[in-house]
Amino acid sequence: MNANPSQPPKEQRPLELWIGVECTLNRVQDRYLNQLTVCGHDRRQEDLTMLAGLGAKRIRYPVLWEQVAPERPDLLDWSWTDERLQMLRELNLQPIATLLHHGSGPTYTDMLDPEFPEKLAAYARQVAERYGWLTAYTPVNEPLTTARFSGLYGVWYPHHKSDESFVRMLLNECKGTVLAMRAIREVRPDAQLVQTDDLGKAHATPAMQHEADFQNERRWLAYDLLCGRVNEEHALWAYLLSSGATPEELAWFAQNPCPPDIVGVDYYVTSERFLDERKERYPAHQCGPTHADVEAVRVYQDLAGIEKLLREVWQRYEIPVAITEAHLGSTREEQLRWFDQFWQAAKRVRSEGADIRAVTSWAILGSFDWNTLHTEFKGHYEPGAFDVRGLSPRPTALAQLLRARASGVEPQHPVLASPGFWERPDRFFYPVVGASTPQAHTTGFARPLLILGEGRLSAALSALCFERGLTHRCLSKHELNVTDAAAVRTALRQFQPWAVVNAGAYGQIEEAQHQRRAFWQRHAVGLAVLARACAEHDIQLLTFSSDQVFAGDRHAPYEEHDPAGPLNVYGRTLLESERQALAFHPGTLIVRSSELFGASGEQDLLSKAVQVLRAGGAVSLDREHRFSPTYLPDLVHTSLDLLVDGERGTWHLVNRGETTWADFTRMVAEARGMSAQAVRGVHGTSIGWIAPRPRYSALGSVRGQVMPSLEHALERYLADAAD
């Protein structure tokens, strides 16, 4: 570090952007779960050209033992890695080769195998001999974390739950790393060890501080072993011996140090924990025999955060540091805020003299099912800089931010002016502990979203904008007449929005049929005025349309390119609104959706029907019209994500699936223990529908199935209703 604070630190190389492909190939019981398969990267070699376009210097990339030699150590299939690594070499994107990523190894070994270190080293030598040009390796990703999940918590294979298994796994992983790097360096002497681990931190009440102190020492163990620092003076020497380690094998690490060339720090919003003996404050699933263990961000005010942790790791080791995983599974603007806060923190710590090399955008192609700790695949997806749920990976706003940072340009997205949820007071789920709230990192005036209209959709937009920390202002039709061009321009100058969301017409099928002229004037003519004004002021525009633009003359979901043929005034008006918006503002984002449930204020058709059924009554609902029921929170969140991404053109956003109102309500009634027989299926005219509906209006998308399935949406709707 800079020994003299009065002297400026010596000049450093520029902070680098690194990226990483989520490549966990772990074992649960006898099943291997492969992120490369579910995200499709194993089938898309062309991804690499796209990733190289971000401007990153290095990529954490799999050369996985389980993938290359799954059945026998002498039976290796290099074809996949040959193609990918050669392409990365041609693209001048330097790989950091990962040999094990949250894995226990192929079927012929595991982390409790006494020969695990030698077997890993033998594989590492073969990799180095085949790819002699590789200069950086991570033989075992996050050894401490993997040992905890496999040996202490029983989550991954071999599913043990003891300190003895945890310590044995950690020693095997670290010895395997030492031997692997020795073998690699016999082929490539200058090969670097980039050693990653989750650098979280435990906080606690006074009564649990002893446990927090233990965990805060334990988090360093993998680095300490590799650096040869574990001896009789080490804080965990007695713990290691009591958990089955021998003095001789611990001394081996001191005699054979293999310090990382770069300490890789991984940090997540869940990495910091809070330990509390007052278990009555927390849900049962957060509590163990003696205390609760919860995400500190939800209860504790004095979080360490990535900046303090970077200082800690630099002061402890004085070895070059890189943030090797920066990822947040959240809404798009929070992902932008999270990564950019890491970048700025790295720059501040560098300015103090610390050698911080890079910030890695992790899960660059997103990741699946980490909400269940990668123990099963149910399709829960967290996008990264690219969203893989379309015909090809689609760049998100995070990709734009990464390109800016890689090229030395300050990103300008307006959502960066507001703090992330981990800095806001509304983040707390439990009684708050701690002395003070950390200062939020913002960049100035936060331009708002301007939401136009009233009703279920606009109310949900406002509520979820608040939840997401998106500054916004709502204007009803009485506050702003969108057919008045002068009034619209005045509003845009007054509020200076970065985007306008038009939610005024959604769901008003019967009203449109009764008030044809007024509805047309406001929503077809009005949107033309609004689109022209937004284009003049270079403001993004999001407007909502409907499945009612289609005629219902097919039996497969309508996609964005299918010809329209509306049967009612509502559909004709919205179709004309789409045309006007794109004519005057080609950058408009048009979201077509379908009938909503889970609406604000419990005023949607489904909620009203459930209220009647709960009271013992019967309901009559349409049995003719097949559509795609759409969970309102999913629609709003996904639409806002696309808006933040700067998407344009027409998107179909519905929960994947189709049914009728009668069948859908029966499904909900059965799930909530009510009588499905009390739901009568009738023709729409029997319940007062005047406007004709298409018999079939389910929606699909060629741009990307970015909404969850109807089954998953219904699970969350029912869970919310039960709370």
Distance CA 606, CA 599 (A): 9
Answer with the residue of higher pLDDT: 518 or 493: 493
Strand 630-631 vs strand 596-597: parallel, antiparallel, or unpaired? Answer: parallel
Order of all β-strands in the sheet with 292-295: 201-204, 272-276, 292-295
- Is the N-terminal amide bond of 425 cis, ω within 30° of 0? no
For each of the domains in the chain, give its residue range(s) and CATH number, in order of start.
16-427 (3.20.20.80), 449-722 (3.40.50.720)
Q: What is the pLDDT of residue 3?
A: 42
pLDDT score at 8? 44
If you average pLDDT over residues 405-418, what whole number do you get? 94
DSSP at 9:
P
- In this predicted structure, what is the pLDDT of residue 602? 58
**Cα(278)–Cα(207) distance, integer angstroms:** 10
296-341 pLDDT per residue, tens? 999 999 999 999 999 999 999 999 999 999 999 999 999 999 999 9
Average pLDDT (589-594) is 96
pLDDT at 90: 97
**Cα separations in angstroms, 255 against 183, 258, 291, 343, 640:** 17, 10, 39, 37, 56
In this structure, are strands 386-387 and 394-395 parallel, antiparallel, or unpaired? antiparallel
Residue 437: predicted pLDDT: 54
**Kind plus residue range of the DSSP H or E element containing 405:** helix 397-406
* Model confidence at 443: pLDDT above 70: no
pLDDT class of 498 with cuts at 50, 70, 90: very high
pLDDT at 719: 84
Q: Is the pLDDT of residue 471 over 80?
A: yes
Amino acid, single-letter form, for residue 63: V
- Is the pLDDT reported for residue 6 higher than 70? no
Mean pLDDT for 524-540 is: 94
Query: What pLDDT sits at residue 7?
Result: 46
Please give the Cα distance from 710 to 659 (Å, whole number): 10
> What sign does the dihedral 271-277-283-289 (CA atoms) show?
positive
Per-residue pLDDT, 687? 76
Q: Which of 41-45, 298-302, 426-430, 675-679 has the lowest mean pLDDT?
A: 675-679
Helix (H) or strand (E) holding 255: helix 247-255
State residue 2's pLDDT score: 43
Closest CA to 95 of 67, 123, 57: 57
Helix (H, G, I), strand (E, B) or coil at 336: helix
Confidence of residue 722 (pLDDT cuts 50, 70, 90): low
Please give the sequence-ordered ranges of beta strands (E in DSSP) within 537-669, or none if there are none. 540-546, 589-593, 596-597, 619-622, 630-631, 649-652
pLDDT score, position 688: 75
CA torsion angle 672 673 679 684 (round to 10): 10
Mean pLDDT along residues 429-458: 80
Greatest Cα pair distance in the chain: 88
Residue 13 dihedral angles phi and psi, to the nearest 5°: -65, 155
How deeply is 512 buried, as exposed, middle or buried, from its count of CB atoms within 10 A (0-12, 13-18, 19+)?
A: buried
Q: How would you classify residue 55: left for phi > 0, otherwise alpha for psi between -120 and 50, otherwise beta?
A: left
Residue 713 has pLDDT above 80, yes or no: yes
Q: Choose among 210, 332, 222, 306: nearest CA to 647.
A: 332
CA distance 165 to 151: 5
Pairwise CA distance, residues 627 & 384, whole Å: 31
Amino acid 518: pLDDT: 85
Min mean pLDDT across 32-36, 372-376, 499-503, 681-685 is at 681-685
How far, CA to CA in Å, does 667 sit from each of 27, 483, 658? 36, 43, 12
Q: Which of 119, 262, 250, 114 is nearest to 177 (CA)?
A: 119
On average, the pLDDT of the chain sits at 93
13 to each of 326, 355, 358, 369, 588, how far by Cα in Å? 21, 9, 10, 37, 41
| Residue 438: pLDDT over 70 | no
pLDDT score of 679: 87
Mean pLDDT of 340-359: 97
